[in-house]
Structures are given as structure tokens and as C-alpha cells.
């Protein structure tokens, strides 16, 4: 009989589901870490946790028994997913159970901040009746900026609308049509919104793009008197900048539920006027905890008793044979998605995929899902996988169409992808050399042959003598080594594109120098996984 370990406090609704199921045994063992956690995990087939326990590579080392870890909540940042995947352990989460509670907590912080609820109550505790000191502000008719309009961001936007706030937003993966349905006026960047907002709230994952999304530069341009709220992840607002903004009076208030380091019991923000903080309570409601516990237990028990996999964050439900036969092209599709998402970062509207030659005979739905994974990869709180990526794309109002043609072109198989955005259109096509060498064979109107891995520097230019030498010399001067080079041109002296595979990311000064060449139009740096490095869901077979 499979055994389950409960690693963090779970709501009674989840525990009684476990207790009532005769097909499994379970133990509640909270507060484990280090060696004690490692030996405990090795005694169970399934584990369920919240965010308290840290399941690191060390705590999974040598584990041959554990088959699944379920996170009762959204963020799986406390689980080493790569380590779990390598060991064939499925990691699942419950993405929807705490959406409403977190949205409500955001509103609670906004209201409490605006009406000085916490300091006014503190004054009463100190026997002071300070009616004049705590003058508040209304939310009605104020402008709320929402960054990240996924599940929680959308729930916040609709609720803010009901409070008669004007809602504006930024999310590169939300279509204008969906934004209009939500009553949100979309902006092209966060910075463009800042001069207009009275309140700012963020609901994105913490990524390289969102870390420090509000920093010193944003403090300069934000509307004076703005109030900032963060119920997503610590670090999205630079905490030092918040302190500066409050001290200078540029910011009227800051409310945080999440912190760069957690637990956080000491911060320069604590005690400053206009600050309101809670200890990561967004999902801490009876309803949310009951829902994530019930969803989590159901996922785990179904998996352990029937093999059913849903909401997996580190693998797809593919059987091993299909995965083996398609791995190379799934990788090409994924890399094309990553490439197009970086080539044009404005609002995505639609994608059109074409499969030509032998590829058209394969399961193109999987290839489409893999492309969608790449396209969304940088944007999601939880890395999308082949199971959920296409649905997530459609949920964001991004139209996806595919076309298959079995007649061959220049290659036995080729996959083309076109992304239409608010700014225009980008196109690319890829193929596979051998079993595992993805190649880019078309970029916009240019045919070429470039490696689809590592750091790419793309520079459209006019075909004049000396360009390659000049770019090479500039990069050499900045100690950036060129690994590969490809040029696509329509005709001599015409418009061309150069693609360099670089060993390192070129510094901004090097890019500026490259762009200073009169025949070079612009430069774009694209970061793709190293050759042979696959996303976690593409590495793993079934458990």
C-alpha cells in the first residue's frame, strides 16, 4: 500500500480525505530538515507540502522510493524540481485554489493602507484618539496599475473595477480583447504606466525580468503619492528603493505580503510611516487552505492509485516511446518559441505554426504544445509544460493556428513559426540535424543556417564589405568569443541578417559599438539553452 508523508500543516479537510482512503497510509511529520528530512522522504511513495519545508537536491539524494511531491499551493520554489525530475519524481501543484484569497488580500492591503487602519488601531492601543492624524484616501476614481494579469492579477482587476477604480495594466501575454473584457487599459511597458498610477500591484512570478521591476529609475517617474502593494513574490520591488521613496515622500505608502528573504522579521521598512506588512498571508484563509489541501490530496492519491498525472510542473504525460522518437523536434519547437518570445517582447496576439515534410506525419499537437512552452516559458509563475502550455496560451487570448503539409521543401522536415504582436510580426523556421542538433533555417525573410543554442546576437544590416570584420573586432575587443556565425541575405548589397553564437553575453558597450556601424540597423541578444540542455518536462519519461 503506498505511503504518504505530510510535510507541512495541512487543513483538516485534506487530512480527513487521506484518513478516509483505505488505499493509502499516511503520516504527518512537519518541521523536518537536513538528514532527518532525507531519511524520512526515503520511506514514502508520496509527499505533500506547503511552502514551509525545503525539498532540496540533498534531501532527495539517493531516494528510489518517492514517486510524487504535491505542493498544496502555487509556487514550487521550495522544491528542487531538477533534482526531482532526475529521480523520476513528479512534482504537481494546485494552481487555482488560492487565487481568490490572494486577490482579496491585495485589496485588503490597499484598503487598509489608504485608511491607515493599522496605525490608527495602534494609536488606540496607546490610548490616543487621533482622528485628525489619520486622514485617508478613497479608492473610487483612483487609477490602479496591475502588472501581471494571470489568475490573481485578473481577479484583482475585476474586484478593483467593482470599487470604481480605473484599472490599467501590463502583461505581454494578455490580448487586448481579454483586457477589454476585464475593463483593463493595457500599456506597452510598466514604466509607461507609472506616471498615471495612484496604486501599483504586481502579480507576476519572480523572474530575471520582474526582479527589481520597481527600482530607482521607476521611483523617478512614478506619480508622486503613489501606493505600492506586493502580494506576489519578494524582490519584484527593490526594498531599498521603497525605503528611499517613503523617506523622500515620493511614495505615500507601501504594503508587502512577501519579502526578498523569508521569514522576514526585521526590515528597515517595518515601523516607517505609510508601511503595512503581513507575513506571507495571501493564501492563508480557511477556504484557500481547504481548497489547496483537498486538491493536493486528490492529485496525490489519484496518481498513487491510478497513475493519473495532472498539474505536473516538471513532466508531461507522454509515454517513453513517443517521447524518445520526438524529443529532437520537440526541442526545436521549444527553442523556436523561446526565440520568438525574445525577438518581439510586445503583446503577443497570435501564432501560426507550419509543419512541412515528414514532421507533418508526426503528433504535431505535441510540437505545438512544446512551442507554446517556449513562448510562455519566461512569463509564467510555474514553468509551463507540454500538458498545460497551449491552454495557458489560449487563456491569454493568444490565437494559435497550425498547418501541416507533407510535401518536402529544402529539408526532409521543417517547422515554421510566425508570431503576430502589437508591434508587428516575426517569423522563424527550424529543423533538426542528426538526432539532436536544432538549427535555425529561416529568420523573417532570410534563409540561413544557424545554431539554435546558447547566446545569439542577431544584427540586421545592409550587405556592405567589412561588416563581419568590424563586428568581430568589436566583440574581440570586449573579450567576447564568437563560436559560430551565419549570414542570410537576399542579394548582394541588399538587406541581410547576421547571427553570431557567442560564448558570453556581450556587454552593453559592445552592442552600442556594433550598432554604431552605419550599415547595421540594430542588435538583439537572444538567450537559448545550451546545446543538449532540455527543459525538465522533456527530459523525463513516465514514472
Q: Which residues are catalytically annotated?
A: 233, 262, 280
Nearer to ligand NAD, 62 or 279 (CB): 279
- Write out the E strands in 89-134: 90-93
| 337 neighbors 426 (Cβ within 8 angstroms) | no
How many degrees, rounded to 5, is the angle at CA 505 between CA 500 and CA 506? 80
Distance in Å, CB of 75 to ligand MLT, minimum: 3
Copy the grid coordinates of residue 310. 495532472
Distance in Å, CB of 233 to ligand NAD, minimum: 4
| 150 neighbors 203 (Cβ within 8 angstroms) | yes
203 binds ligand NAD (CB under 6 A): yes
Give the H or E element holding residue 102. Answer: helix 99-114
* Omega within 30 of 0 (cis) for the link into 263: yes
200 binds ligand NAD (CB under 6 A): no
Residue of this chain nearest to ligand MLT (CB atom): 73
Give the H or E element holding residue 47. Answer: strand 46-49
536 binds ligand MLT (CB under 6 A): no
Pick one of ligand MLT, ligand NAD, none as the site partner of residue 397 (Cβ within 5 to 8 A by kind): none
Select from 13, 21, 196, 209 the one that contacts ligand NAD (CB under 6 A): 209
Select from 74, 228, 256, 366 the one that contacts ligand NAD (CB under 6 A): 74
| 269 neighbors 256 (Cβ within 8 angstroms) | yes
283 binds ligand MLT (CB under 6 A): yes
Site for ligand NAD in 86-105 (CB under 6 A): 95, 98-99, 102
Nearer to ligand MLT, 95 or 397 (CB): 95
75 binds ligand MLT (CB under 6 A): yes
151 binds ligand NAD (CB under 6 A): yes
| 209 neighbors 233 (Cβ within 8 angstroms) | no
Select from 38, 142, 223, 233 the one that contacts ligand NAD (CB under 6 A): 233
Copy the grid coordinates of residue 375. 513562448
Distance in Å, CB of 90 to ligand NAD, minimum: 20
Measured distance CA(197)–CA(48) in Å, rounded: 40
Select from 14, 46, 145, 150 the one that contacts ligand NAD (CB under 6 A): 150
Decide: residue 93, CB within 10 A, 0-12 exposed, 13-18 middle, 19+ buried. buried
Decide: residue 195, CB within 10 A, 0-12 exposed, 13-18 middle, 19+ buried. exposed
In the shown chain, the binding pattern of residues 245 to 274 toward ligand NAD, with x for contact by CB under 6 A and - for none, equals: ------------xx----------------
Distance in Å, CB of 206 to ligand NAD, minimum: 6
Measured distance CA(144)–CA(424) in Å, rounded: 28
Distance in Å, CB of 451 to ligand NAD, minimum: 27
Nearer to ligand NAD, 165 or 313 (CB): 313
Which residue bears the cell 521569514? 263
Distance in Å, CB of 225 to ligand NAD, minimum: 24
Largest CA distance in the chain: 84
End-to-end CA distance of the chain: 17
In the shown chain, the binding pattern of residues 340 to 379 toward ligand NAD, with x for contact by CB under 6 A and - for none, equals: ---------------------------------------x
Nearer to ligand MLT, 98 or 314 (CB): 98
Pick one of ligand MLT, ligand NAD, none as the site partner of residue 335 (Cβ within 5 to 8 A by kind): none
167 binds ligand NAD (CB under 6 A): no
Instruction: Collapse the DSSP code of 135 into the 3-class scheme (helix H, G, I; strand E, B; otherwise coil) and give the result.
Output: coil
Q: How many residues bind ligand MLT (CB under 6 A)?
A: 8
Pick one of ligand NAD, ligand MLT, none as the site partner of residue 50 (Cβ within 5 to 8 A by kind): ligand MLT
In the shown chain, the binding pattern of residues 483 to 522 toward ligand NAD, with x for contact by CB under 6 A and - for none, equals: ----------------------------------------
Instruction: Collapse the DSSP code of 267 into the 3-class scheme (helix H, G, I; strand E, B; otherwise coil) and give the result.
Output: coil
The DSSP result for 499-517, as a single string, is EEEESSPPPHHHHHHHHTS
With a CB cutoff of 8 Å and minimum separation 6, the contacts of 207 are 378, 379
Which residue bears the cell 487602519? 117
Distance in Å, CB of 349 to ligand MLT, minimum: 29
393 binds ligand NAD (CB under 6 A): no
Distance in Å, CB of 525 to ligand MLT, minimum: 31
Pick the piece of the chain touching ligand MLT (CB under 6 A) from 34-42, 69-77, 108-116, 439-447: 69-77
Distance in Å, CB of 74 to ligand MLT, minimum: 4
Q: How many residues bind ligand NAD (CB under 6 A)?
A: 33
Distance in Å, CB of 73 to ligand MLT, minimum: 3
Decide: residue 6, CB within 10 A, 0-12 exposed, 13-18 middle, 19+ buried. buried
C-alpha separations of 444 from 190, 261, 467, 497, 501 in Å: 28, 44, 20, 9, 18
Copy the grid coordinates of residue 532. 543538449
211 — phi, psi (to 5°)? -65, 130
Measured distance CA(513)–CA(516) in Å, rounded: 5
Site for ligand NAD in 269-288 (CB under 6 A): 280, 282-283
With a CB cutoff of 8 Å and minimum separation 6, the contacts of 34 are 59
74 binds ligand MLT (CB under 6 A): yes
Rule CB under 6 A: which residues touch ligand NAD?
Answer: 74-75, 95, 98-99, 102, 147-153, 170-171, 173, 203-205, 207, 209-210, 231-233, 257-258, 280, 282-283, 379-381
Instruction: Report the interface residues with ligand MLT, using CB under 6 A.
Output: 50-51, 73-75, 98, 282-283
Amino acid at each position: 500500500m503506498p505511503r504518504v508523508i505530510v510535510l507541512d500543516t495541512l487543513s483538516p479537510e485534506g487530512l480527513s480525505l487521506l484518513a478516509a482512503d483505505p488505499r493509502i497510509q499516511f503520516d504527518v511529520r512537519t518541521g523536518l530538515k537536513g538528514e532527518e528530512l532525507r531519511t524520512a522522504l526515503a520511506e514514502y511513495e508520496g509527499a505533500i507540502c506547503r511552502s514551509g519545508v525545503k525539498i532540496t537536491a540533498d534531501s532527495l539524494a539517493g531516494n528510489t522510493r518517492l514517486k510524487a511531491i504535491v505542493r498544496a499551493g502555487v509556487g514550487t520554489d521550495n522544491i528542487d524540481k531538477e533534482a526531482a525530475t532526475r529521480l523520476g519524481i513528479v512534482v504537481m501543484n494546485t494552481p487555482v485554489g488560492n487565487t481568490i484569497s490572494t486577490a482579496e488580500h491585495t485589496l485588503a492591503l490597499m484598503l487598509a493602507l489608504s485608511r491607515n487602519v493599522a496605525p490608527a488601531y495602534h494609536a488606540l492601543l496607546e490610548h490616543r484618539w487621533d482622528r485628525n492624524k489619520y486622514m485617508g484616501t478613497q479608492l473610487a476614481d483612483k487609477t490602479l496599475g496591475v502588472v501581471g494579469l494571470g489568475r490573481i492579477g485578473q481577479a484583482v482587476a475585476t474586484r478593483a473595477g467593482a470599487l470604481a477604480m480605473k484599472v490599467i495594466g501590463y502583461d505581454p501575454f494578455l490580448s487586448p480583447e481579454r483586457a477589454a473584457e476585464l475593463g483593463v487599459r493595457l500599456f506597452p511597458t510598466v514604466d509607461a504606466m507609472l506616471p498615471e498610477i495612484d496604486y501599483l500591484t504586481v502579480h507576476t512570478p519572480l523572474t530575471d525580468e520582474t526582479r527589481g521591476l520597481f527600482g530607482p529609475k521607476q521611483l523617478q517617474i512614478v506619480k508622486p503619492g503613489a501606493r505600492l502593494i506586493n502580494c506576489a513574490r519578494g524582490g519584484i520591488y527593490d526594498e531599498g528603493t521603497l525605503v528611499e521613496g517613503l523617506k523622500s515622500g515620493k511614495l505615500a505608502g507601501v504594503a508587502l505580503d512577501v519579502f526578498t528573504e523569508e521569514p522576514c522579521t526585521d526590515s528597515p521598512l517595518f515601523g516607517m510611516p505609510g508601511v503595512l506588512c503581513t507575513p506571507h498571508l495571501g493564501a492563508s484563509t480557511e477556504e484557500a487552505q481547504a481548497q489547496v489541501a483537498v486538491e493536493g490530496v486528490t492529485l496525490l492519491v489519484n496518481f498513487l492509485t491510478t497513475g493519473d498525472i495532472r498539474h505536473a510542473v516538471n513532466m508531461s504525460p507522454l509515454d517513453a516511446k513517443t517521447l524518445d522518437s520526438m524529443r529532437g523536434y520537440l526541442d526545436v519547437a521549444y527553442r523556436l518559441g523561446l526565440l520568438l518570445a525574445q525577438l518581439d517582447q510586445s503583446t503577443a496576439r497570435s501564432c501560426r505554426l507550419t509543419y512541412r515534410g515528414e514532421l507533418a506525419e508526426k503528433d504535431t499537437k505535441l510540437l505545438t504544445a512544446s512551442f507554446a512552452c517556449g513562448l510562455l516559458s519566461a512569463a509564467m509563475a510555474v514553468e509551463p509544460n507540454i500538458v498545460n502550455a497551449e491552454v495557458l496560451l489560449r487563456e491569454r487570448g493568444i490565437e494559435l493556428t497550425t498547418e501541416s503539409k507533407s510535401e518536402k521543401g529544402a529539408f526532409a522536415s521543417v517547422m515554421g513559426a510566425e508570431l503576430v504582436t502589437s508591434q508587428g510580426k516575426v517569423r522563424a523556421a527550424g529543423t533538426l540535424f542528426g538526432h539532436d542538433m536544432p538549427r535555425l533555417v529561416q529568420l523573417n525573410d532570410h534563409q540561413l543556417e544557424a545554431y539554435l543554442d546558447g547566446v545569439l546576437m542577431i544584427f540586421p544590416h545592409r550587405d556592405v564589405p567589412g561588416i563581419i570584420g568590424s563586428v568581430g573586432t568589436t566583440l574581440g575587443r570586449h573579450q567576447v568569443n564568437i563560436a559560430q556565425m551565419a549570414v542570410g541575405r537576399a542579394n548582394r548589397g541588399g538587406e541581410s541578417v547576421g547571427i553570431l553564437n557567442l560564448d558570453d553575453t556581450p556587454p552593453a558597450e559592445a552592442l552600442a559599438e556594433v550598432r554604431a556601424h552605419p550599415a547595421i540597423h540594430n542588435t538583439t541578444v537572444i538567450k537559448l539553452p545550451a546545446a543538449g540542455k532540455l527543459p525538465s518536462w522533456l527530459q523525463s519519461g513516465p514514472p
